[in-house]
């Protein structure tokens, strides 16, 4: 049986899938969404639930990537962000710093133990502004407001991720935007072999 935290992640993912991802040409397998460009690149969005340590609360992080297949490389049927030439996360693409080793603009799906909560409270105290949710620091959210989280992810995809994909959907655009996105390059070999002549 799925935990309450994983059920929350499923609800968030399904809502976003139906409202924005399917209508923009993405197909799903598990927690990965893929879309192919006319140049054969694969654009990827991955929803990931994880814990840094077993005693920590479960978090939902969302990662994105663009795969540039090598000329003689068979493309996997379905990719995760870790397979991509460029990859990053929602927080990084928005210029938000990581918190305590968590990246991907994590949303905490359950409360942690007292020591963990005290650590978060101390870190977040200067940023707590709105009473309807416990944590409002831009890169850390405790999910007690599902509508807010869904809206926040949807807005980030629309304003940051889709333009990122648009800037990297052809070879010419990658050359043009290479400097802009160089910090997101994970596989330099693919860039050198397929893009930079």
Block mean pLDDT (10 aa), the chain, length 197: 82 95 96 93 91 69 88 72 88 66 61 60 53 42 70 90 94 89 81 66
Q: Write down the pLDDT at residue 73.
A: 64
CB-CB contact of 58 with 143 (8 Å): no
Structural domain includes residue 113:
no
Largest Cα separation within the chain, whole Å, is 55
Q: Write down the pLDDT at residue 89.
A: 86
- Say how far apart CA 60 and CA 73 lie, in whole Å: 32
Where b means 16+ CB within 10 Å and e means fewer, 22-52 reads eeeebebeebbbbbebeeebbbbbbbbbeee
Q: Write down the pLDDT at residue 3.
A: 78
Structural domain includes residue 124:
no
Q: Write down the pLDDT at residue 131.
A: 40
Structural domain includes residue 20:
yes
Q: Give how far Cα 151 sits from Cα of 53, 123, 132, 145, 190, Å.
A: 28, 24, 15, 10, 35
Structural domain includes residue 22:
yes
Structural domain includes residue 84:
yes
Q: Write down the pLDDT at residue 105.
A: 55
Structural domain includes residue 121:
no
Structural domain boundaries, residue 85: 4-49+60-100+145-194
CB-CB contact of 48 with 104 (8 Å): yes
Total domains present in the chain: 1
Q: Write down the pLDDT at residue 54.
A: 62
Q: Write down the pLDDT at residue 134.
A: 44
Q: Write down the pLDDT at residue 97.
A: 55
The answer for 41, left when phi > 0, alpha when psi is -120 to 50, beta otherwise, is beta
Structural domain includes residue 96:
yes
Orientation of helix 146-156 relative to helix 4-16, angle to 10°: 50
Q: Write down the pLDDT at residue 128.
A: 47
Structural domain includes residue 105:
no
């Amino acid at each position: 049986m799925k935990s309450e935290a994983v059920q929350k992640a499923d609800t968030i993912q399904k809502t976003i899938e139906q409202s924005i991802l399917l209508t923009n040409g993405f197909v799903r397998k598990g927690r990965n969404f893929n879309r192919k460009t006319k140049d054969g690149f694969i654009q990827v969005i991955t929803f990931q639930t994880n814990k840094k340590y077993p005693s920590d609360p479960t978090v939902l992080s969302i990662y994105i990537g663009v795969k540039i297949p090598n000329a003689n490389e068979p493309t996997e049927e379905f990719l995760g962000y870790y397979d991509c030439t460029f990859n990053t996360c929602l927080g990084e693409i928005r210029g938000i710093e990581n918190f305590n080793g968590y990246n991907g603009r994590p949303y905490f799906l359950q409360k942690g133990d007292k020591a963990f909560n005290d650590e978060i409270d101390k870190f977040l105290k200067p940023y707590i502004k709105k009473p309807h949710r416990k944590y409002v620091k831009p890169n850390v959210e405790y999910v007690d407001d599902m509508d807010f989280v869904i809206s926040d992810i949807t807005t980030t995809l629309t304003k940051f991720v889709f333009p990122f994909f648009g800037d990297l959907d052809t070879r010419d655009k990658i050359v043009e935007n290479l400097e802009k996105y160089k910090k997101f390059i994970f596989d330099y070999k693919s860039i050198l072999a397929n893009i930079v002549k």
